[in-house]
Each structure stands twice: as structure tokens, then as C-alpha cells.
Homo-oligomer: A and B are copies of this chain.
Amino acid sequence: MASPAPKESNVDVLIIGAGPAGLMAACWMAHCGVSARIVDKRNTKIFCGQADGLQCRSLEIFDSLGFADRTWKEANHMIEICMWNPGADGVIRRSDRIPDTIVGLSRFQQIVLHQGRIERFFLDNIKKYSKDSIKVERGVLPESLEIDTSKVEDDAAYPVTVKLRTLTEEEATPAQQQTGSKGSDGLFRSNLTNEDDEDDLIRKSKARAGESEIVHAKYVIGCDGARSWTRRSLGLELDGEATDFIWGVMDIIPVTDFPDIRMRCAIHSASNGSLMVIPRENRLVRLYIQLKEVTPDASGRADKSKITPDLIFSAAQKILAPYKIDYEYCDWWTAYQIGQRIGNSFDAERRVFLAGDAVHTHSPKAGQGMNVSMQDAYNLGWKVGLVAKGVCKREILSSYQSERRRVAQDLIEFDQKFSRLFSGRPAKDVMDAEGVSMEEFKDAFLKGNMFASGLSVNYGPSSIVVKPGDAAEQGDGSEKTKKLVKTHDLSLEEFNKKQALASGLPVGMRVNSFKVLNQACARPWHFQERLKADGRFRVVLFAGNILSPTQKARVEKFCALLDAPENFLRRATPEGKPIDSIVEVLTIHSAKRTETELLRDFPEVLHPFDEKLGWDYNKVFVDDESYHEGYGDAYKNYGVDSERGCVVAVRPDQYVGWVGELEDFGGLQEYFEGCLVLK
């Protein structure tokens, strides 16, 4: 009997893989109101182990989505890094303490919480914002992917066809859940595993008939990990290689006399290898342990079968001696071989995109992997979502590779340096050229801290980042970027003049956060809290001293242009929708709060009126002192002249896209003409 014809359907965005990157992408679709599906081949989310470190930037992103508070509350907060090195006698001792997060960098600091909880927060958020319409479909495997290249530039088309198959429960259960070992074994996802569990799934699945469906998608996002099926089905590969360094990882509740077990520690023993301590929630501690006794074979791969929790833990005990360490409870363990690989292409036809481990892998110890993966999807999600909705032009999609491949390249460079310094034997003295200088290591750590915050990212020029220079040079350097990324025409001199208007808001970087007060109710807000991830671009009008008649005239002139039917704001707004649907205008002024009044001093377009809801009281803010939460000094911190102000365009992901004078309405208009579909 022939199997029935598979079900067919259309969807705007299909996301493959429901780890942190895939969930981040789905989150954007929920917040932007885009029709989307997300499938994962496994039948449960993970419950322990995996990645756990969260950068400041990841927390800022979570806050833009609405769940930083849950994460912050449950996580372990890492405050201090202690460096331990051998003394002259070869015995380890604490040589340094440095703050784990650079002071003043962000309103958040680095924290640790296991991936399972983070996925839970994503799932709850997606459920809430999609009104239950986007749900992770688990135990669903993609079997084929085709792009109809004749339709890729057609905005109305669904040019990607993916065949999906629903697995049986048994097929979809990963080995971790099936073994039922005391401490969950994470090797099934380790890069030391030889059998490809996914291939195995596909093999098993092929033996069955039925339960297939055909999905036609406008866009596909592959977030399916280091062995990405999506990547392979596009014929793309990762370049790079493994090192000889092999490390074990264990999540345990330690019983120890080591004094800094609740600090993040970087420990170099004299000759037994290195160890990193990452204190976690629920009395757990993660240990990253160098396995000097395990070495790769002729093929360059370590023999997985030799690696056991006992082997890993006895290595840890040797490194920590003379301190004693033991444990009764192990939550999870794994091992990995350090290596760095990156994809040449992050998308195919700007219709199928790859994010996270699917396009770059590196060692987990630096605590970057999950962060960079989620940030890939945070960069990509709104672009795909708004293009699929018809709000943005397809051109903006090219900036994904130029922006994120650059970050992946930086990460790999950082990881290589850091891994070498951390896996190397400490130098006995200055003459010991083969050993690693502990001074150099500390220095790399301090510098790495800036990188590791996620806040040093500075995107190169493109249609959505107005700055001078070559898109490829400042981006990922690829031919693709050179060919596809359009930039605005702007001399360095012109740009420097514009940038000087808001020196604390560098074009290409994320909007830093300082406290401002709501003009109407005096409530203090971190300004970033007003830049929610709802898919809207924002114009931030630094209105300056609104009580000066000269300045007020400038503001009124700017607002008249903003409000004019022929300009971008009205043309971007769909018929019958509120004026802030696509681009929201937020104002920060610098006059005294108590001397200004919303309705009297600010043009209507800055606080739009609605017949049913009255005036909008949530759009105008003031840089003034609060009663209970100090003074944010926003104008000073943003480097904006408090008399004359300036105008800033902010992307939906909180990155600065454009800076200009109030008189430079033309520049602002050009910015939005470059990225928005206008009536």
C-alpha cells in the first residue's frame, strides 16, 4: 500500500533546533508577531550540565525580552576571580584577585545558571508573547531541504521547502536520558564522540514509513549545533582544527578545604595541569580539569573510552593538592578536546541562515559559547522577522554574516590565546621560555574580561550602521560581505563630527544604560529598559534644554519634519495603526523635571494622543536626580551636549545605527529609507 501524500503547509520562519540559539530566534518571532515553527529532534529539553555562564550582554538581552529578573534571581553571581599559581616551592597559592566583571561596564554582572533553566525561561517567554502559537515541536527531524533559487528575491514567495519527520519516542530520546548513570554523562554531545547520534537517528527514522510533512518556508534558521544537519544539507563546512589539549568537566557538590571553592578560580599547578573553578547555584561547583594523561591518537582524536569520572576527578585532586577535595554528588560530567572551527558562509541565498555552534565552535571554558550563539540569533531574529513581515527590506539580511562572522572570528582568536595560556605549564622563572608567564596569563584574563562581557562588539558599516569605511574590512572580510553589504556614503570627517554629538553612543555598539526619569511620574528607569525587544526601531531625541526658546524652536522644527506625512515615520506606519508601531520616538531632555510639563513643553508627536487612552505618558524622559535611586547623569555619560542635544537611531536589537544633529533630518530620513519598506 502506498503511504498517503504528506501534509503540506506554509510558514514564514522555520527554526531547526531548540537550544538557546533556536529559542532566541523563536523568541524574536513571538515578540515581532511573525508566524513561525521551531522543531527539535530530541524529545525533551535538557535538565543538567551543558553551558552555564551568562555575559552582561546576554543579561541585557534577556531584560529586553523580559526575563533577566528570573535569571538574575536564580543564578549564582560570580564576583571575583582568584588566580592560583605555584610558588617557589611548587605549591599552589593565591597570587591575585580581580573582579569577575569589569566595574561599571553594565548594570548586570556575569552569572552562572544551567542551560536547562535558561531554556525554561525562553519557553515561558515564547508561550506568553506568541499567545501559545509558537511551541517547540520535539522529536521532529528534518530530512531534506531545498531552495527554489528562482524565487529567493520574491518577498511574497516561500522558496525553502523542508521535509520533516516525526520520530517515535524511542528514537528521539538522547543517550543521556537512556543510560540513567549516577552523574549524567554529557559525552553524547561532546566533541570526543565518534558515532554521530544524529546520523543514527536519521538511519533509524528512515526505516519507518509515514509521519512526514512538507513545510514551505519564507526563511529557515538552522540552530542545530556543531554537527548541524542544516549546514550539511546546504553543503557548507566548518574550517579549523583540534589542539592536543583535552579537558574534563564535572558538576559536583564539593567537600573540600580549598578556601576559594565559591570563587571563580584559575589554577595552574606546577606540573599536573590546570583547573578552573566555576561556582554554581544549589551548592554545585563546575570544575574544568586539564587531562594531561589523555592524549590524542594518530588520527588527532582522544580515545573517549579511557575517560571516566574517576580519571577526571583524580586529575583535579592532583592539581588542587595539598588541598583536599572529594564529592558525594555529581550532577553531570563530560570531556572535550580544545579546537576552533568556523563556517565560511553563514547563510544560503539569504533564505537559510545558520547560527551558534552550527557555524562556529570553540572550547567551553571561556564561558562564551552559549552567549555568542544566543547573540547570533538575537542579531538575526529581528532582521528575518521584520523582513518576513514586510517591515524591512531584504538588504538588511546581508549584515548578519558581516556582523556575526566577525564576532566568531574574534572569539576564536580569544579562545586560542586563552586556551594556550591556560593549558600551558606555568613558567618556573623568566628564563623558562617554554612555560607560560603567569603575568601574561593575568593580563590576558583582564583583557579577556572586556571581550567576555559581550559589550565590546562593534558592528561594521552596513545599511543599518551608518559609519564610514569598508563593510568587509570592518566586518568578516569575506567576499560575500564585500559583494552584498551596502554602506552609506560618508567621509570619516563627516562621521567624526556626527559621532562627537554622542561620544558615549558609538555607532555600531549597543546603547549603554543610565538612569533617566519619566517626565510625567518621576519614576527612574534604566534607559535600556525602555528599549524592549518588540521589533521596533527607535529614534531617541536628546531634546537638550527644552526650556530655552532657541532650543525649543529646534525641537519643534525637528518634530514638524518627523510628523510630516511625506517623511519616514508616517510612511512606515501601517494604515490605521498607532504612530509608534514601527518606529518609536523616545525623548530625553535635560531641563529640570519640576520646571517642565509634558503637555505644555513637548510637541504632540513626542507623546501621541489616543482618543481612548489619552496622552502617552511613557515616551518623554528627563536627565535629572531621583529621590531614591541617585542621579544617572545620562547626558554626561552619553557624551551629549545638554543644551543642544542630538538625535540617535537605534536598531531593534539596541545597537546604535545613526547619530546626527536635530537639523540633520535628511540623514535620519535616509537611514530609514535604507532599511524600512515605506508606503
Contacts and interface: CB of A to CB of B under 8 A. Distances in A.
Given A520-B262, A628-B109, A253 B613 contact: yes
A444 interface: no
Nearest to A94: B594
A521 B262 contact: yes
A598 interface: yes
Contact of A611 (B255, B523, B612): B255
A627 B253 contact: no
A517 to B, nearest CB: 8
A280 to B, nearest CB: 11
Interface in A250-292: 253-257, 259, 261-263, 279, 283
Interface in A271-326: 279, 283
Contact of A612 (B328, B524, B613): B328
Nearest to A617: B262
A213 interface: no
A19 to B, nearest CB: 27
A599 interface: yes
Contact of A259 (B76, B259, B279, B599): B599
A225 B255 CA distance: 52
A97 interface: yes
A124 interface: no
Interface string A610-633: 011110010000000011100000
A79 interface: yes
A263 to B, nearest CB: 6
A257 B259 CA distance: 63
Contacts of A597: 259
Nearest to A80: B522
Given A73-B69, A597-B259, A329 B612 contact: yes
Contacts of A329: 612
A522 B263 contact: yes
A613 B522 contact: no
A263 B79 contact: no
Given A79-B627, A259-B597, A614 B521 contact: no
B328 A80 contact: no
A77 interface: yes
Nearest to A105: B628
Interface in A79-115: 79-80, 97, 99, 101, 103, 109
B599 A257 contact: yes
A542 B319 CA distance: 37
A521 B97 contact: no
Contacts of A203: none
Contacts of A279: 521
Nearest to A610: B255
Contacts of A262: 518, 520-521, 617
Contacts of A522: 79-80, 263
Contacts of A259: 597-600
Given A69-B73, A594-B97, A627 B80 contact: yes
B101 A628 contact: yes
A253 B612 contact: yes
A344 to B, nearest CB: 40
A278 B97 CA distance: 49
Contact of A521 (B79, B256, B257, B521): B79
A613 B283 contact: yes
Contacts of A77: 521, 523
Interface in A596-614: 597-600, 611-614
Nearest to A107: B628
Given A80-B627, A103-B628, A262-B521, A253 B614 contact: yes
A79 B97 CA distance: 40
Nearest to A598: B259
Given A101-B628, A255-B613, 7 more contacts: A69-B69, A76-B521, A253-B613, A254-B614, A259-B597, A262-B617, A328-B612
8 contacts: A76-B521, A80-B627, A255-B613, A259-B597, A261-B520, A262-B520, A263-B520, A283-B617
